[in-house]
Amino acid sequence: VGAATACAPSEGAVTPSLAAAAPASPGTGASASTVGAPGIGDPDFPTDGNGGYDVQHYDLRLSYDPASRKLAGSATIEAKAVQDLTSFDLDLHGLTVSRVTVDGGAASFSRSKDELVIEPGGQISNGARFEVTVDYSGVPEPMRDSANLGEYGFISTPDGAFVTCEPNGAKTWFPSNDHPSDKATYDFRITVPAGLTAIANGEMAGTPQTNAGKTTFVWREKHPMASYLATMTTGKFQIRTGTSARGLPVYVAVADNYRGSLDQLYTQTAKITDYWSTVFGPYPFSSTGGVIDDYAAGYALENQTKPIYGGFSPAPTIIAHELAHQWFGDSLTIKRWRDLWLNEGFATYAEWLWAEHTGQYTADSAFRRYYANAADPMWSYPPGTARPDDLFGAAVYNRGAMTLHALRREIGDDKFFPLIRAWTDAHRYGNVTTQEFISMAELISGKNLKSLFDAWLYEPRRPAPIP
């Protein structure tokens, strides 16, 4: 979300320069090929992710030196084949690969754009579990898309790195199946010069160890996570830890020049996470938190357990947005990017709910303020199909949130809030589609909601007013 408001400023268009045709979805068994597809089957991002296997776990050993900007890594990936494989891809942007092993044996590899193509030298059978280790190093280059997504991925800063990967920047710092439809658990072992802090997802295992001027931080995310939510943000930070009123561990870090925001970030993060757990259902992870880095990204990202705010001290509604994403985006993760309103529409609606809860303004007044502007460009952008050339368009956020409000008015609070909790419960840690949400809304309300969702999500015009 943007620094000041929920509106993602994203004017202009860029043509995606993706060469490959959309591959078959993994696991269809339709193809006799033993070559894993170079994409996982997202029609709008045809080379993102890969076919032929499903990652279970990433074990990332990383060492970063801010002075030389050099990253050295060894990534061990545990995966399960979903077809016979004589070769398969990982996604990796830049960096130099020195060695690849599959189940301990040397494997040959080649690079083609952002694909690392691996040939294990024998066939991996459909259903088999296998382990790939990739040793690599170099100066990471972030992804750059000035017309749409801006700069994202591994972004080096004077004292470390700001690491925000949505939608496909995980490949700038580790070889991955870089698409949200393949979630996995993560272990991180990150070494940085002594005096710096390395922050990743989940919880820290043990206390950081310092040896010969370097400190190693071990972090573990034991719940499934999409690659775009992984982080290894590093630098000089002030830390505050504790436990929320409802007993959840809290870890908050702010860059030195935001030290005046440490306590308010801590207090709001604890309070809002606790409140959302009464509205959306049980908090899905084992800790909550937040990071303010001094890199002026101008946006925030809902990194799992550690939302990050790029160069600004967030207002409570923004914290509420990023923490709502822990349910909508992080626990329930979209299967395809075009369903992004399931993340951003819900998180924006959460801003309105927080404003209502704290007496600033009501969700209904927010809805009516947007509705009143007949000239808003969001009326020509149906948010149910987020466009790859304008993924974070304001319509996906605001018209997405309005869709939920229209639904709430149609089915009433006594169906709407139970629906939200049933939604987070049924798909916890999984992948979701818009159709699954519509079906559940119809089931719980007992109403046919096709015309409501069509008007709000799929038609390029302003829907009729709601009662």
Q: Is 262 in the site for Zn ion (CB under 5 A)?
A: no
Q: How far apart are CA 449 and CA 467, in angstroms?
A: 15
Alpha helices (H) along 309-456 = 316-324, 341-357, 363-372, 394-411, 413-426, 434-445, 450-453
Please, are residues 15 and 389 in contact by the beta-carbon 8 Å criterion? yes
Among 36, 52, 73, 150, binds ligand ARG (CB under 6 A): 150
Q: How far apart are CA 139 and CA 162, in angstroms?
A: 14
Buried b (16+ CB within 10 A) or exposed e, 422-434: bbbeebeeebbeb
Window 32-71: residues binding ligand ARG (CB under 6 A): none
**Contacts with Zn ion: how many residues (CB under 5 A)?**
3
Q: Is 1 in the site for ligand ARG (CB under 6 A)?
A: yes
Amino acid at 242: G
Window 423-442: residues binding ligand ARG (CB under 6 A): none
What DSSP string describes 195-261? Answer: T-EEE-SSEE-S--EEETTEEEEEEEEEEEE-GGG---EEE-EEEEEEE-TTS-EEEEEEEGGGGGG
Q: Is 1 in the site for Zn ion (CB under 5 A)?
A: yes
Window 334-373: residues binding Zn ion (CB under 5 A): 344, 347
Residue with tokens 């630098």: 235
The smaller minimum CB distance to ligand ARG, of residues 155 and 407, is found at 155
The smaller minimum CB distance to ligand ARG, of residues 114 and 166, is found at 166
Q: Is 301 in the site for Zn ion (CB under 5 A)?
A: no
436 binds, among ligand ARG, Zn ion, none (CB under 5 to 8 A by kind): none
Q: Is 154 in the site for ligand ARG (CB under 6 A)?
A: no
Please, are residues 304 and 285 in contact by the beta-carbon 8 Å criterion? yes
Q: Is residue 346 classed as helix, strand or coil in its secondary structure? A: helix
Shortest separation between residue 139's beta carbon and ligand ARG, angstroms: 20
The smaller minimum CB distance to Zn ion, of residues 1 and 334, is found at 1
Shortest separation between residue 1's beta carbon and Zn ion, angstroms: 4
Binding mask 141-160 for Zn ion (x = CB under 5 A): --------------------
The smaller minimum CB distance to Zn ion, of residues 1 and 116, is found at 1
Shortest separation between residue 397's beta carbon and ligand ARG, angstroms: 7
Burial of 313 (0-12, 13-18, 19+ CB in 10 A): middle
Q: Which residue of the chain is nearest ligand ARG when measured via CB?
A: 1
Q: How far apart are CA 221 and CA 205, in angstroms?
A: 10
The smaller minimum CB distance to ligand ARG, of residues 165 and 204, is found at 165
Binding mask 310-329 for ligand ARG (x = CB under 6 A): ------------x-------
Among 53, 152, 341, 437, binds ligand ARG (CB under 6 A): 152
Q: Is 301 in the site for ligand ARG (CB under 6 A)?
A: yes
Among 302, 330, 390, 436, binds ligand ARG (CB under 6 A): 302
Among 55, 124, 291, 300, binds ligand ARG (CB under 6 A): 300
Backbone angles phi, psi at 372, to 5 degrees: -65, -25
The smaller minimum CB distance to Zn ion, of residues 132 and 402, is found at 402
Span near ligand ARG by CB under 6 A; candidates 94-102, 173-181, 252-260, 294-302:
294-302
Please, are residues 268 and 307 in contact by the beta-carbon 8 Å criterion? no
Q: What percent of the residues of the chain are helix, what percent strand, and what percent coil, each to the nearest 5?
A: 25, 30, 40
Span near ligand ARG by CB under 6 A; candidates 75-83, 99-107, 130-138, 149-157:
149-157
CA dihedral defined by 254, 260, 261, 266, rounded to 10 degrees?
A: 80
Query: Which residues in this chain contact ligand ARG in the complex, by CB under 6 A?
Result: 1, 149-150, 152, 166, 299-302, 322, 344, 392
Query: Which residues in this chain contact Zn ion in the complex, by CB under 5 A?
Result: 1, 344, 347
